[in-house]
Chain A
């Protein structure tokens, strides 16, 4: 009995050493904390977190000034990733900072735009093109959907349009099937 115990303890110790060693060996040296947090943030630069952009928010998190659940564009997945990185408990998104919305892009109604450049100045990623007094357009691929250009427009010609699903960006769904012992008899495939 005792011998068996010793054997087990011995093996457990051995295992512990192996584990500890591999943890040390495979440890990855990473970027400084702020950069790693910033890498998780969606870079929408919308300011909903209460900071002027993603980097400042990342800095605030790293300093411990801000909570991890203030970024709606990052969504739940983002909070999870932050919680993982920082080794803290996950918490649901703080509703004060807004709800996650489907990803959108800004669209400028070119008939209405007066070319005042206010939106250009507001856009954190220079996604709007246009010269003064000329109609402006949004480069859709660069637009992060931050909505910062919507409010400054004096003629309200900017609208946010959710990105439509197309065969190009379509994703497979999570397979849903229920564990049910008695299935209703179906004639056709559940298409």
Chain B
């Protein structure tokens, strides 16, 4: 009988998700520029997989398919995963990853709004543990590679793993800057020597910093659109910068400078698109600050001391577990209450 308020003025979930996808576009454009068009294939593959798996799961669970398929959340998950995977990852890795994200991490927990963990990061972590080699072999940015693969050749590589005749795998891959940094450091090379390598750009990794700038641009758009708040990205970036600065100041020859950490790996993608997943994140302003700062801290620790080159996925999953606790202890002061 009574359904006041009769008025509403809210963007639909679909429009929010679409704007998130839109915000990814500058990053993707930079990605294509740096690594070639193969990423488009990866994105398409992930999208198709995500939508069909989601539809299948909804059908099995007896949920309305059209309503949930059109909410766009599966696409966001798929794109984020695709962007986090190494470019030129084999097609089955993409399909498998997307399926894990949608089926295991999302639908089995109850679908949209019920997943306690960030689906893309669950899939990423699962793949990283199962296929460490594939997940860490990155193609070199086009400008650095000995041989530049064209779009068709990239596609061939994704689907059949075949390189054009006469091209060795080494010729197209290279260590990522984070990787390189870690191996070189264990070989007792100093920071100055390491940063002379061509894979380093002026801020982060050569090329990767451009992509990071793209993500930053998209992220600012999201904040402007009030789809995300400033709390998460700011706290995350500040925490990484702060801890990196501390280490850097302590021993500049063994630790990279803060700018490098901000502009390499998945830092920017993480700051604006991954830790900002509303469903698996905290909801209170203070909680958001704690959550993001915690992930930043842990990401850095795993980067520097952990076995994996980039620790974002594990850090995010770990703090997803802490979300209820964080929320419970950071409830804001309610109007008319003492704090």
Give residues in A with beta carbon < 8 Å to B: 1-4, 7-8, 11, 15, 19, 179-182, 189-191
Contacts and interface: CB of A to CB of B under 8 A. Distances in A.
Given A1-B308, A2-B307, A189-B3, A7 B67 contact: no
A15 B325 contact: yes
Nearest to B67: A181
A190 B314 CA distance: 47
20 contacts: A3-B305, A3-B306, A4-B301, A4-B302, A4-B306, A4-B308, A7-B301, A7-B305, A7-B306, A8-B314, A15-B325, A19-B325, A179-B63, A179-B67, A180-B67, A181-B65, A181-B66, A181-B67, A189-B3, A189-B6
A189 B298 CA distance: 52
A180 B67 CA distance: 8
**10 residue pairs, one from A and one from B, having the closest CB atoms:** A1-B307, A4-B306, A181-B67, A181-B64, A181-B66, A3-B305, A4-B302, A3-B306, A191-B1, A7-B301
Nearest to A11: B318
Interface in B289-305: 298, 301-302, 305
B322 interface: yes
Contacts of A8: 314, 318
A48 to B, nearest CB: 35
Nearest to A19: B325
Contact of A182 (B1, B6, B66): B66
B64 A4 contact: no
Given A4-B307, A11-B318, A180-B67, 8 more contacts: A1-B308, A4-B311, A7-B301, A19-B325, A180-B64, A181-B66, A182-B66, A190-B3
Interface string B49-66: 000000000000001111
A7 B3 CA distance: 50
Interface of B: 1, 3, 6, 63-67, 298, 301-302, 305-308, 311, 314, 318, 322, 325
Contacts of B6: 189
A190 B1 CA distance: 7
Contacts of A191: 1
A190 B63 CA distance: 23
Nearest to B64: A181
B318 A179 contact: no
Contacts of B325: 15, 19
A68 B64 CA distance: 39
Contacts of B298: 7, 11
Contacts of B311: 4
B137 to A, nearest CB: 17
Contacts of A19: 325
Contacts of A7: 298, 301-302, 305-306
A93 to B, nearest CB: 29
Nearest to A1: B307
A18 to B, nearest CB: 8
Nearest to A180: B64
A7 to B, nearest CB: 6
Contacts of A1: 306-308
Nearest to B306: A4
A181 B59 CA distance: 13
Nearest to B70: A181
Contacts of A2: 307
Nearest to A2: B307
A150 to B, nearest CB: 36
Q: Which of B63, B305, B306, B325 has the most CB of A within 10 A?
A: B306
Nearest to B69: A181
B64 A179 contact: yes
A4 B311 CA distance: 8
A3 B301 CA distance: 9
A15 B294 CA distance: 13
